[in-house]
Amino acid sequence: MPPNTAENLLDLLWRDYSQLNPQAGAIHKLLESRGDRVVNDHIAPRTYDDPRVGVEVLARPFTRLGYRAGDDYTFTAKKLSARHYEHSNGNLPKVFISELQLGSFSDRLGSIVCGLIDQVTDDDLRRDDLPVIGRP
């Protein structure tokens, strides 16, 4: 079932992340056991500057749930461009979606990435739970 609130989507993302990185969940529990309050101020999904999977595509599930586009950023040395999104509920983390500028890399890398993107279906890219479906 697709996430129906921003909180639900963020919870699914945390569950997915902590399953892939068990140490993150363990650290979180340790801090809470000490009485610390853990606040996640942002999340940072990454994608490629291919229009099929770019920032706007990855942002759709967030904007559908109330996030609004903020500033754009360029990280020249890292060959990334990014945009941040904020929710009207200031308690929710910002979302910084960055995309790797494929044209800044070798044709071979661009070809490999485009070949992988070619395998992603349009149906997957339209899913409301796109950020949590794993590697389509």
Mean pLDDT of 81-94: 96
Pairing of strands 94-100, 46-48: parallel
Tokens coding 77: 């040395």
Distances (CA, A) of 28 to 24, 25, 31, 110, 129: 6, 5, 5, 37, 24
- How would residue 10 be classed by pLDDT, with cut points 50, 70 and 90? very high
- How would residue 1 be classed by pLDDT, with cut points 50, 70 and 90? low
Longest Cα pair distance anywhere in the chain, in angstroms? 51
Q: What is the mean pLDDT of the chain?
A: 93
Domains annotated on the chain, with CATH: 6-132 (3.10.180.50)
Separation of alpha carbons 14 and 49, rounded Å:
25
Give per-residue pLDDT as tens, 104-129: 999 999 999 999 999 999 999 999 88
Q: What are phi and psi of 25, to 5 degrees?
A: -65, -40
- How would residue 134 be classed by pLDDT, with cut points 50, 70 and 90? confident
Taking the alpha carbons of 17, 21, 22, 23 in that order, is the dihedral positive or negative? negative
Separation of alpha carbons 90 and 70, rounded Å:
14
Tokens coding 12: 């699914």
